[in-house]
Amino acid sequence: NAGVTQTPKFQVLKTGQSMTLQCAQDMNHNSMYWYRQDPGMGLRLIYYSASEGTTDKGEVPNGYNVSRLNKREFSLRLESAAPSQTSVYFCASTAPGQAYTFGSGTRLTVV
């Protein structure tokens, strides 16, 4: 039982480059989320998908896009990376009224 699998674990990008962070869960959860975590800022929601076929903006969506490819997979895309997007990114999934299961995180540095 893998839970939530996130790739890659580490990435260095140059300003202006694009990349996609991948997330997949095998728990048959309807809801999936992308968070970023910065020192002293806690976990901030970027985008979420309450169910397959739907996506919604969270607290900090600017500069990001998402795709809910199917029930298992929810990807996060940075079209033109900026140094302000240097952060640790976590994908999570959950069933209604239950705790999150988080992926292992992606440490992204934009230079």
Partner 1 sequence: GENVEQHPSTLSVQEGDSAVIKCTYSDSASNYFPWYKQELGKRPQLIIDIRSNVGEKKDQRIAVTLNKTAKHFSLHITETQPEDSAVYFCAATASGGSYIPTFGRGTSLIVHP
Q: Under the criterion CB under 8 A, does residue 56 sit at the interface with partner 1?
A: yes
Q: Which of 90, 93, 108, 110 binds partner 1 (CB under 8 A)?
A: 90
Query: Residue 54: helix, strand or coil by DSSP?
Result: coil
Q: Under the criterion CB under 8 A, does residue 100 sit at the interface with partner 1?
A: yes
The strand pairing partners of 47, in sequence order, are 34, 57
Q: Under the criterion CB under 8 A, does residue 104 sit at the interface with partner 1?
A: yes
DSSP state of 86: -
How many CB atoms are closer than 10 A to CB 58? Answer: 16
Q: Under the criterion CB under 8 A, does residue 31 sit at the interface with partner 1?
A: yes
Residues 4, 63: Cα–Cα separation, whole Å: 24
Q: Under the criterion CB under 8 A, does residue 27 sit at the interface with partner 1?
A: no
Residues within the interface to partner 1 (CB under 8 A) = 31, 33, 40-43, 45, 48, 50, 56, 58, 90, 94, 96-100, 102-105
